[in-house]
Structure formats: C-alpha cells, structure tokens
Amino acid sequence: MSSPLFVAEVSSNHHRDLERCFRFIDTAAAVGCGAVKFQLFRVEELFAPEVLAKSHVLRARKAWELPVEFLSPLAERCRKQGIQFSCTPFYLQAVEELLPYVDFYKIASYELLWNDLLRACAATGKPVVLSTGMATLDEIGGAVETLRTAGCKDLTLLHCVSGYPAPPKECNLAAIETIRSRFGCPVGWSDHSVSPAVIQRAVHYWKASAVEFHLDLEGEGEEFATGHCWLPDGIKAVITDVSIALSADGTGEKVPTPVELPDREWRADPSDGLRPFLHVRNEWNG
C-alpha cells in the first residue's frame, strides 16, 4: 500500500492574514502533507438571509472569509513547497475563481446535495474530492452520478463524520470499505477525531487513500477551541508513524534481510547444535 495523501485543512484559522496563510502552507509541508486546503466562501452566499438577519454569530463569520486575491500567492507558495493547493468552493462563482489555481476541488459534506455546484466542479475537468459527512449511501450515490455524468473522471470520496469533534466510537471507519465497494473509487478519511488511533486504523486497516485533517498553528485559530483541530507536532508524529509502519510491510518474500546477514553464520551448526557454524569455529582456531 502506498502512503495516503495527507491534506491539511486550514479552514477558518487563517485570520485573513496572508503571511499566516503562508505559515500554514510551510507547516503542512514540514509535517509531511502532500496538500493543503483552504475554503472560499461569502457569508451572504453561504447562509439564507433570514438566518443571517437573526444570527449575529453567523454574520460575524464575515471575518473568516478568505480574500480572493490571496489565491494566486497561495498557489505559488504551494508550488514552491512541492505540495498541492486545494480549496473548497461554497458559491458557484468560486468554482471559476479557483480554476486557475487549484490542483483539485474539495466539496464539503454540507454541499453534497447541491447538484449545481457538483456539476460546476466536474465540468472543469479537474480532480474532485467529496466529503460524505451526514449522508446516506443513496445521497452519496446521487452525488457520484451527478459528478460523473458532468465529466468528473478523477473522484475521491472521503468518509466523514461531521461532528466537531467526532468521538472515536462514532467514527464508523468500516464505512470506508462500504463506500469503496459501492462506488469503485478511492476512499479516504476526513478526520475530526484528533485521535492518532483513529487515523492509524483508517490507514492501516481500512486502507484510506487520503487523510484530511484540520490544522492550527499554535491554538489561536478561530476553530481551535471547538476541539477538532490538530497542532503541528501532534499530526507530524502521526504522519511519521504512518510512513514508518508502511515501510515495515516489505515485499512479503521470505528471505534473509540485510540486517540479518551478519548473524547467519552464527546459528547453531546442524552437526552438534553449537554456535557458530563449524567453519566459523575453524577460522577462529586457525
């Protein structure tokens, strides 16, 4: 099994600060990620007006919006760091705004039923990653059909539990195989558990092809207090452990490994059961 693609989700932790965004990209690369993901939304196009009118909390999320003018420098920074740049569009125009910059589109669980957005992303011809939190298999099936019919040829689904955080006992990682078997495409894990054990299980047992996780730099991001964001040292240890564990699989061929070769001559000789082999003892006596 090849190593999964680790994707650092910046979400709303960027503080609308370009230098802080650069630090997220640099940190994602440093901890071993292959991609970083931002979100492009406009509060007025994310929530219905009657809801915004009654919720100061939702209106305050205006301060979480990523400026469109950040997209080009963010994509360039990712290229310099050798990792992929992705972003989630939350309004239709965002698909076009992202087109020159993203390596793949990420569609959030909350937008899984919005066929117009699915079609717009698929029509670009770029890879699409779709999270499936809260969805039934039939709902996922409808989204997959919409994407494929609209031209998506490179689709990855992410099993996701849209709890912030998600208790490990509710992560239902076995659904990774259920989704993979049903739709015949790569399936990864979108993590909200902040549990090393959950990610290890998703990768090593359920063969998750990708792992997306929410990242904060130092615990000062807007979403950190909710409890679903990883800090750099924690996720770096997980990614390192995954890499080490996968490297331990080997080829499966049962032959002496290089580290064993020096001791092969020091096994018990078949003639008398003593170590090392007789010819080695003879050399010692010679």
**pLDDT above 80 (res 263):** yes
Q: CB of 32 within 8 A of CB of 18? A: no
Between CA 198 and CA 169 the distance in angstroms is 9
**pLDDT above 80 (res 1):** no
Q: What is the pLDDT of residues 59-103, one digit of tens each?
A: 999 999 999 999 999 999 999 999 999 999 999 999 999 999 999
Q: Considering the entire predicted model, what is its pTM? A: 0.95
Q: What is the pLDDT of residues 171-216, one digit of tens each?
A: 999 999 999 999 999 999 999 999 999 999 999 999 999 999 999 9
Between CA 255 and CA 234 the distance in angstroms is 36
Q: What is the crossing angle of helices 71-81 and 18-31, to 10°?
A: 30
DSSP string, 68-125: GGGHHHHHHHHHHHT-EEEEEE-SHHHHHHHTTT-SEEEE-GGGTT-HHHHHHHHHTT
Minimal CA–CA distance to 81: which of 137, 28, 130? Answer: 28
